[in-house]
Amino acid sequence: MDAEYDGVRRKIVDRRAFLRTLALAGGSAILAACGGSTAVPTAVPAAAPTAVPAEAPTAAAPTAAPAEAPTTAPAVVEPSNGQVTIEWFNRYTTNTTQQIIPLMVAEFEKQNPNIKVNYQNPGNGEGYIESLLARVAGNNPPDIATLYEPPVEFAARDALTPIDDFMASAKTAKADAFFPAPLKSCQWQGKTYGLPSSAGAGAMYLNTAAFKQKGISIDRATFPKTWDELKALSKEFVTTKNGGIEQAGFVPFVGNSWLYPAWSALNGGKLFDTQSNKYMLTSDQNVQWLESWVQWLDDQYGGDYEKLTTAGSWAGTYPDSAFNLGRASMAAEGSWSSTDADIPFDWEVARFPVGPGGSKSVTAFYPNWWAIPKGTKHPAEAFLFIEFVATTGWETWYTAIMDTPSWKAFPPTVLTTKLVDKVGLDRAKDVNTFFADYLNDAVEMWTSPVETFAGDTFGAAVDKILNKKMKVKDALAEAQDLCQNKLNTVLKG
């Protein structure tokens, strides 16, 4: 994802604004279509892919179950005749992407000389989604859209084109070519509505110096395997001053709500069941998970959530976070922060420990999604572009931004240049392989057509729990009813 913008987006997502947009687009009053700039940014030479020797370790490929096969033979969709210009709707605006995008477009056009890509950028903010949905409603959609919310939300509202027929005859973007969980985030009711070019996995980040100062190993093999062990390790680092927290070990319950599906699954639970279209918020596993967080808050951080959050920014690894400032010895964050967060000290990564109800370490992920809006005039050419971006074309992106590829065949010899420069070739290979391997154990997530609403609602419930405004069971029951009722309304509609 656009690193300079997305580091903030992944931490603070205005989901309510997006929900309002969907409601507007679904009403009888259709928003007026909005245009955007037409110029592709002037290319600035970007760093060439960092090649590692052929013997570089490869990530273990998962045993992937193919997506549900169509009930009929795939239709043959022929590309248009002659020169075609396709419109790519996006909101990437940073210096990094202004270097990358022209290079990706140029390579695609070189491989497909009959296709030109017109880069449309209506700007950042919620106006992007409003413009996109308004154009779909007005039967004037772009050919390609980069999505910042799950494709399922758009597909359930009939705003996207299914791409299964294209994938059936694709060269690289077949259903079994991607890690299963990221591709599942693009599927709704047996059809696929987009491709994930990346799926940055979450992990534990460790402050190497802080661990060494305590004489604690940073070897991944000896890192805690259970929540109890992690909590005990966290306590080793906690110090107080004048009645407040001066130094923290790990604060699991602040920020990064995109990791919640992983925390649930680490304890053997889930938040949403795709097969039955049922929310599972009130499960015993989820109750146990959140009760353990309240106990952790009480035991190590004084029990006052508001006071704790006032004392520091305990979430993630970005500048001004407690971890980045050396005030927390551990943090949870996505793979992209390995280069994007500018961590000013040596660090290590490790898998998440498992809860008492869990059986193995799993992770969550944050994708880049690419889709074809409904009603596009050039669906075949549009698919060629999103196939390129989600497979071979991602090599250019990955050299600049460490968004772990969703494509299983992505060359392990391509590394993020900034990571190599920062930690050296051997260490970069190790970190790259760690995150690619972890995607084998990614949880199924981003699959609900009311994901945005549910994320807000569940987040509010967790906030009530940690602030001790409601008991765990009561808060989850309230959120369960709200989410399921909202989903049922969408399913009926």
- Whole-number Å distance between alpha carbons of 55 and 338: 23
- In the block, tokens 């509202």 appear at 157
Please name the residues in contact with 110: beta carbons below 8 A apart, sequence gap of 6 or more: none
Q: Count of CB atoms within 10 A of residue 55's CB?
A: 7
Q: What are phi and psi of 473, to 5 degrees?
A: -60, -40
Q: What is the pTM assigned to this prediction?
A: 0.85
Find the helix or strand (DSSP H, E) in which 293 lies: helix 284-301
- Tens of pLDDT, residue by residue, the chain (493 residues): 444 434 434 433 333 333 333 333 333 222 222 333 333 333 333 333 333 333 333 333 333 333 333 333 333 445 566 799 999 998 887 788 888 999 999 999 999 999 999 988 776 556 888 889 999 999 999 999 999 899 999 999 999 999 999 999 999 999 999 999 999 999 999 999 999 999 999 999 999 999 999 999 999 999 999 999 999 999 999 999 888 899 999 999 998 899 999 999 999 999 999 999 999 999 999 999 999 999 999 999 999 999 999 999 999 999 999 999 999 999 999 999 999 999 999 999 999 999 999 999 999 999 999 999 999 999 999 999 999 999 999 999 999 989 999 999 999 999 999 999 999 999 999 999 999 999 999 999 999 999 999 999 999 999 999 999 999 999 999 999 999 999 999 999 7
Q: What are phi and psi of 18, to 5 degrees?
A: -65, -40
Q: Tell me the one-letter amino acid at 297.
A: L
Domains of the chain are 33-63+73-200+367-441 (3.40.190.10), 201-364+448-492 (3.40.190.10)
Helix, strand, or coil (residue 279) = strand
The number of C-alpha atoms within 13 Å of 164 and in the hemisphere containing its C-beta is 18
